[in-house]
């Protein structure tokens, strides 16, 4: 069988990478730096020949692969077997949160114990077998060709171990860089390392917020969930970023809530915002089921968003906005109850990221 050359690239950066949040198989989009990294990767590989392009079917990988494939008139082979390791109930939580809530088993993750799996997740052994099978199949069906594979840090880690002959629990020498080419080969049933990227000598891709002291924007948001576990989302037309406008989006869906005003705490802001936007009077804000902290683009400016999401269970009701200003009325266009399944298949802009998976976690 002729030698197959594989170029492997991790997707660009996401906000969840910044937050050190377990993404796993949650479908999280690239952030502004990630989009710039994807463009830089396409430019770096402009002179490279590829016969085929494969990608994980998650959007952060597809968004990184598509420009490269499109420049060559190639289709992207969406490959679920190239998804990141399934980290079960840890997905959506930061490393700090998992370390606090699973202190007894988290060290198994840090030491790369091969047979360890997060609760309801995938073990490193099982993950490695999945990736090895997928890459071997790609190499065999692309015999003698040069192939681009865009996937995730965990997938590239396993590929490096295959090519370098390293065990699953051995320490890796270098981090897996975002949107950076790495080369391995498959010949006569064996993998070999051709060239693996290191941070030395590579230019950092700038983000719009780099070097800036971003103003802190605290916000309280409500996951208002009915008896069917459907969530109430508001349709907004204000605050769309230039990036989304350029993609043809003119509105987005998001959970009710908003910025904490001077003199308020999170809970009082939640009560006020929910009443203004939906007409619902919140007596008990409910538990905080998610927290976020990341750079957020609002119009043409950037803020450091600090968000808390409160779970409010209620009967389904019709929204009756109260006390909105005229400007707010222009921006708030409508509302709808969404199921997790509807969110999962929708092509609308829906915030927060990972909402569909969060709903499944908190369902009765």
- Mark which of 195, 226, 242 sits at the end of a domain: 195
Q: Tell me which residue of 92, 76, 167, 93 sits closest to 124, measured CA to CA.
A: 167
How does pLDDT run across 66-99, given as a tens digit for each residue? 999 999 999 999 999 999 999 999 999 999 999 9
122 included as an active-site residue: no
Integer Cα distance of 361 and 355 in angstroms: 10
Whether the per-residue pLDDT at 325 is higher than 80: the answer is yes
* Secondary element (H or E) of residue 51: none
Residue 239: pLDDT above 80? no
Average pLDDT over the chain, rounded to whole?
A: 95
* Per-residue pLDDT at 363: 85
Q: Is residue 17 a known part of a binding site?
A: yes
Answer yes or no: do 49 and 156 share one domain: yes
Pair 68, 189 in one domain? yes
Q: Is 14 annotated as a binding residue?
A: yes
- Does any domain span residue 24? yes
162 shares a domain with 15: yes
Indicate whether 306 pLDDT > 90.
yes
Where in the sequence is the domain holding 305, given as residue range(s)?
A: 216-362
Omega before residue 352 within 30° of 0, cis: yes
Q: Is 15 annotated as a binding residue?
A: yes
Domain count, the chain: 2
Q: What is the pLDDT of residue 332?
A: 87
pLDDT of residue 65: 98
The verdict on whether 84 is a catalytic residue reads: yes
Specify the pTM. Answer: 0.93
From 44, 49, 84, 218, active-site residue:
84
What mean pLDDT do residues 258-271 have? 96
pLDDT at 276: 94
Residue 342 placed within a domain: yes
Any known ligand binding at 326? no
Residue 205 belongs to a domain: no
Residues 6 or more apart whose CB falls under 8 angstroms from that of 220 comprise 257, 258, 260, 266, 267, 269, 270, 273, 307, 308, 310
Q: Between 246 and 206, whose confidence is greater?
A: 206
360 is in an annotated binding site: no
For residue 339, is pLDDT > 90?
yes
- pLDDT of 364 reads 66
- pLDDT of residue 299 exceeding 80, the answer is no
More confident: 364 or 198: 198
Whether 209 is covered by a domain: the verdict is no
Which of 161, 195, 229 terminates a domain? The answer is 195
Q: Quick one: pLDDT band at residue 245, thresholds 50, 70, 90?
A: confident
More confident residue, 245 or 33: 33
The reply, when asked if residue 132 is annotated as ligand binding, is: no
pLDDT exceeds 90 at position 328: no
């Amino acid at each position: 069988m002729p030698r197959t050359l594989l170029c492997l690239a991790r997707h660009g950066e996401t906000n969840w990478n910044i937050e050190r949040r377990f993404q796993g198989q949650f479908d999280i989009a690239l952030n502004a730096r990630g989009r710039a990294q994807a463009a830089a990767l396409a430019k770096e590989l402009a002179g490279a020949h590829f016969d085929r392009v494969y990608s994980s079917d998650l959007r952060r990988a597809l968004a990184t692969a598509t420009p490269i494939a499109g420049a060559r008139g190639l289709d992207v082979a969406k490959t679920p077997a190239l998804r990141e390791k399934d980290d079960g109930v840890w997905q959506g939580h930061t490393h700090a949160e998992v370390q606090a809530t699973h202190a007894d088993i988290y060290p198994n993750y840090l030491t790369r114990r091969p047979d360890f799996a997060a609760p309801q997740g995938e073990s490193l052994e099982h993950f490695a077998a999945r990736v090895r099978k997928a890459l071997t199949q790609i190499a065999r069906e692309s015999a003698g060709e040069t192939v681009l594979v865009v996937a995730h840090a965990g997938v590239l880690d396993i590929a490096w171990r295959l090519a370098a002959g390293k065990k699953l629990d051995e320490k890796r020498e270098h981090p897996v860089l975002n949107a950076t080419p790495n080369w391995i080969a498959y010949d006569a049933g064996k993998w070999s390392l051709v060239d693996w990227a290191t941070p030395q000598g590579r230019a950092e891709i700038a983000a719009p917020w780099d070097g800036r002291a971003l103003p802190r924007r605290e916000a309280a948001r409500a996951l208002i969930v009915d008896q069917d576990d459907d969530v109430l989302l508001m349709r907004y037309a204000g605050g769309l970023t230039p990036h989304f406008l350029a993609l043809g989006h003119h509105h987005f869906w998001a959970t009710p809530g908003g910025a904490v005003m001077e003199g308020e705490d999170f809970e009082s802001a939640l009560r006020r915002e929910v009443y203004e936007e939906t007409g619902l009077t919140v007596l008990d804000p409910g538990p905080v089921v998610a927290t976020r902290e990341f750079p957020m683009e609002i119009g043409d400016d950037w803020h450091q968003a600090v968000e808390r999401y409160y779970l409010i269970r209620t009967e389904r009701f019709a929204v009756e906005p109260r006390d909105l200003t005229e400007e707010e009325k222009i921006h708030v266009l409508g509302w709808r109850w969404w199921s997790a399944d509807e969110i999962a298949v929708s092509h609308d802009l829906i915030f927060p990221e990972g909402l569909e998976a969060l709903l499944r976690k908190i369902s009765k």
